[in-house]
Amino acid sequence: MNISPRKETHAAGFCSGDPVVVLYQGLHNGMPGRFVGLREDPNWADIEEQDGCIRGHPVLWLRRPDDV
């Protein structure tokens, strides 16, 4: 039996490791990335961008591709 590690779901509705989130506001509008997790301030999240860099973005700017 193969058991996956449990993903942590945050109040924002994203889970650590969600493969695709999209920034829909700000300078990087439309940029996809991977949700890494919330920061100490839960209004901000770390997103791994396509180039591998992890940057903080406001949670309010994040959407799943289906929601954009």
CATH of the domain at 38: 2.30.30
* Within-domain flag for 6: no
* Within-domain flag for 50: yes
Phi and psi at residue 45, to the nearest 5°: -130, 150
Segments forming the whole domain that contains residue 57: 21-67
* Within-domain flag for 9: no
How is residue 40 written in tokens? 């100490």
* Within-domain flag for 7: no
* Within-domain flag for 3: no
Arithmetic mean of pLDDT, 36-56 = 92
Q: How many Cα atoms sit within 13 Å of 18 on the Cβ side?
A: 22
Count of domains forming the chain: 1
Does the pLDDT at position 32 exceed 80?
Answer: yes
7-11, 18-22, 56-60: segment of lowest average pLDDT: 7-11
Contact 47, 32 (CB under 8 A): no
Please tell me the predicted confidence (pLDDT) of residue 4. 45
Arithmetic mean of pLDDT, 43-59 = 92
Does the pLDDT at position 5 exceed 50?
Answer: no
* Within-domain flag for 40: yes
